[in-house]
């Protein structure tokens, strides 16, 4: 039930880290630990099942599915 804000300079890799944690992109190394358990999300659905949701900077381009109604987005 927590919200984590992750910030840094443009080009520092903050979006890439968050995308890896949320299963959007693959990690090249390292582990992700959530509540003492290692997780390895292979997709965004895996992360959602683990309780992790990614809200991108470009919500209008990356954060919506245009064909779906508001309540599903």
Residue 48 lies in a domain: yes
Residue 30 lies in a domain: yes
Residue 69 lies in a domain: no
pLDDT one digit per residue (tens) for the chain, 73 residues: 788 888 889 889 888 888 898 888 988 899 989 889 998 898 988 998 998 888 887 777 777 777 888 888 7
Residue 41 lies in a domain: yes
Full residue range of the structural domain in which residue 18 is found: 14-57
Residue 26 lies in a domain: yes
Number of domains present in the structure of the chain: 1
Does the predicted TM-score (pTM) go above 0.85? no
Residue 7 lies in a domain: no
Residue 67 lies in a domain: no
Name, in order, each residue with C-beta under 8 angstroms of 49's C-beta and a sequence gap of 6 or more.
Answer: none
Residue 19 lies in a domain: yes
Name, in order, each residue with C-beta under 8 angstroms of 44's C-beta and a sequence gap of 6 or more.
Answer: 22, 23, 24, 54
């Amino acid at each position: 039930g927590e919200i984590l804000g992750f910030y840094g300079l443009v080009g520092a890799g903050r979006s890439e880290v968050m995308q890896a944690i949320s299963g959007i992109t693959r990690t090249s190394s390292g582990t992700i630990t959530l509540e003492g358990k290692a997780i390895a999300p292979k997709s965004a659905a895996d992360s959602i099942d683990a309780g992790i949701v990614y809200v991108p900077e470009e919500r209008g381009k990356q954060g919506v599915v245009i064909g779906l109604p508001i309540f599903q987005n």
